[in-house]
Structure 1
Amino acid sequence: MKKKKTRSVYVVTRNGRRIEEDNYFGEQQAKERAQALIKMLKEWDDDDKGSVDVIRTSQPYKIW
């Protein structure tokens, strides 16, 4: 039985949860989105700015 080849994508998370439904095919795009989120959190003086991550996955629908 052949395994279906799946393409990895990147998702941006905050506190382990996705911040949006968008998947990024390039790591750089995801990092830019994460930096924009961190900048916004700093403006709001939010303590969660350190909990923003970029995760590479082949199953993005499993990250909530």
Structure 2
Amino acid sequence: MAVRVNIVMDVACNNAENFMNNVKSRLTDVVDVVDAKYSCEDQLSTDDIFNITDILFK
């Protein structure tokens, strides 16, 4: 649960690049999936947060 809260906070407060760096420090199997969808300039929306959370915690 703590990891989920940290990741959601990171998405809400930082850009996609910072978010991906945080994910890479925790998990490696889903990084390619998320990397393919988001570029560093993209700001993540609420829907994106839910989509990424679903991918990470399936």
> Which TM class, normalised by the smaller chain length?
0.3 to 0.5
Higher helix share: 2
TM-score (norm 2): 0.34
More strand by share: 1
| Higher CA-based Rg | 1
